[in-house]
Chains A and B, each alone.
With several copies, the nearest count.
Chain A
Amino acid sequence: MKEITAVIQPVRLGPVREALSLVGVTGMTISEARGFGSQGGSVDTYRGVEYRVDYVPKIKLEIVVSEAFVDPTVDAIIEAARTGTLGDGKIWIKEVSTVIRVRTGEKDEVALN
């Protein structure tokens, strides 16, 4: 199984979730994050003093999937999250050795359905 981490624009969360549902992903965990990268932040002002806000609001998705789902999941995210502008985000994939569903104690693939 793999864990797919995706950092996306907050406004793309809706479409990404819809796209994931279509490819059969049934669960995920999301959290607020702030990104630093080529997109750059904004320059704000407070009483005449400017300051740079370096970190751009992002949403981080963590999705654990079985091997067979990795490619469709990644493709679905890319398609739904892409706007073509700087800051659309990154996806990265790591190996997961075990998954457990707390409620039932089921393990691995079974825990993911």
Chain B
Amino acid sequence: MEYNPIYLDIVWVLFATALVFLMQAGFAMLEAGATRAKNAANIIMKNVMDVSIGSLVFWMVGFGFMFGANKSGWIGTSNFFLSDIDPATDSGMFDFAFFIFQTVFAATAATIISGAVSERTKFAAYLIYTVAVTAFIYPIFGSWVWGGGWLSELGDNGFMDFAGSTVVHSVGGWAALAGAIVVGPRLGKYTAGKSPVAIPGHSITLAALGVFILWFGWFGFNAGSTVSGNTGLIAIIAVTTNLAAAAGGVAALTLSYLLWKRFDASMTLNGVIGGLVAITAGTANMSPAMAALTGLIGGMVVVGAIVLLDRKLKVDDPVGAIAVHGFAGAWGTIAVGLFASATYGGVDGLFFGGGVGQLLVQLTGVAAAFLFVFSTSFIVFKVIDMTIGMRASDEDQIRGLDISEHQAAGYPDFAPAIPLVSYSTPVLSGAAVPSGAAIDETIES
């Protein structure tokens, strides 16, 4: 048998596809663990359905919009239903592998949103949004970067986002931001005086399991993005990915310890993901040391962004998805313009003598993602809200979405009636403790 390198490519892409697919389990466990038991069935149903619907919709139209022939530079317009792929050839088979890899990427972008709007969004509304993001929003932005569109033509090297800090994560994060704003904070999340109330999730073990699975999946997410096994690049990618994750976890733990004198588990878990999201853009273009630095700052960005969103912007994101995917994704994309080194991927960033050129391109791409995704998502969510309604009623939120949306509890055998945590009395460091009456108003009415 003659040697044909395409088989190793396909094997590698499918390996990576499987790993990225499992990230769905990671997101499901992280999101379920970080929210309350009474909404667990609803969360996992969102996760199961976004990958199901997303897979179908991306096959039908999304893949064509993203990777179809793209004359305008703004959108692909062929290969719907994979109509351009020839199953008779090996290269057609590679195209199928490429397609399935891209499918699980699209599903990742979709699932990021579910966490941010959790515990108060109607199930049907969420399903509609899932169609919008996997059919249009993600593929259109994706076509600009990975489908040969205008962002890929900017500057000397085009906008650099190797595995999708921006294309996948920030896109998911900014859509999540729009969703969280439109649907509003969970009942009881803010006191009348607008102080945030802590609403801890129901299972730290499931959340941690989710994070470990995501970290595992990220080896496929980043190293698979070579879409080739015939390259040593995949090795350095695995190294930079792991170091950034590790550094993100250490940074979030340390920073939250400095700020609050506590070894905060939830922040640390978010910090790990922040490190992973941050390195995703530059994973093939940085030295191990710069990757660790990118992850370290990524972990700190997550802590800062969570505080910013929760306290200043009053955006309620139960799982931290906006901070982790939106902010750390933007940071990681910018970091390429700073820390890229020609020794690793052929391009030098600002700190390695490459000048500001690439940095400006990176900033342009980050801004374009925010503007396009936030605005289109905001419109879609608003339209859904004005038609079928986004937000579950207060009564439904109190009973939990498991009962109100699915008529079945997530844990019928173990359902705590006492909210053991007294959500109504936040003790804000440095903030006045709000009076009982004020809280009462917000939470119960």
Contacts and interface: CB of A to CB of B under 8 A. Distances in A.
Do A and B make up one complex? yes
A47 B270 contact: yes
Given A18-B437, A49-B196, A52-B427, A32 B260 contact: no
Contacts of A19: 436
Interface in B386-445: 398, 403, 407-409, 412, 415-429, 436-437, 439-440, 443-444
B197 interface: yes
Contacts of B439: 14, 18
Contact of A14 (B259, B266, B420, B424): B424
A59 B416 CA distance: 10
A10 interface: yes
A45 B262 contact: yes
Nearest to B436: A18
B417 A10 contact: yes
A33 B415 CA distance: 11
Contacts of B398: 11
Decide if the interface of chain B is mainly helix, strand, loop or mixed: loop
A102 B346 CA distance: 74
Interface of B: 196-200, 256, 259-260, 262, 264, 266-267, 270, 303, 306-307, 310-311, 320, 398, 403, 407-409, 412, 415-429, 436-437, 439-440, 443-444
Contacts of B256: 48
23 contacts: A11-B443, A14-B424, A14-B439, A14-B440, A14-B444, A15-B424, A30-B418, A32-B416, A34-B418, A41-B422, A43-B407, A44-B403, A45-B198, A46-B198, A46-B200, A47-B310, A47-B320, A49-B310, A50-B260, A50-B429, A52-B427, A53-B420, A57-B417
Contact of A13 (B262, B303, B408, B418): B418
Given A10-B418, A14-B444, A15-B436, A47 B426 contact: no
Contacts of B424: 14-15, 18
A47 B417 contact: no
A39 interface: no
A32 B417 contact: yes
A92 interface: no
A14 B443 contact: yes
B281 to A, nearest CB: 25
A49 B426 contact: yes
A94 to B, nearest CB: 23
Contacts of A33: 417
B94 to A, nearest CB: 41
Residue with the highest number of chain B CB atoms closer than 10 Å, among A34, A43, A51, A83: A51
Contacts of B259: 48
Given A34-B420, A51-B427, A44 B436 contact: no
A55 interface: yes
A34 B398 CA distance: 16
A23 B439 CA distance: 18
A21 interface: yes
A10 B397 CA distance: 13
A12 interface: yes
A71 to B, nearest CB: 21
Given A21-B436, A47-B320, A48-B256, A53 B421 contact: yes
Contacts of A50: 198, 260, 426-429
Nearest to A47: B266
B260 A51 contact: no
Contacts of B419: 10, 13
A84 to B, nearest CB: 12
Contacts of B310: 47-49
Given A50-B428, A53-B422, A34 B407 contact: no
A49 B422 contact: no
Contact of A32 (B311, B418, B425): B418
B5 to A, nearest CB: 47
A49 B425 contact: no
B247 to A, nearest CB: 20
B257 to A, nearest CB: 11
Contacts of A52: 422, 425-427
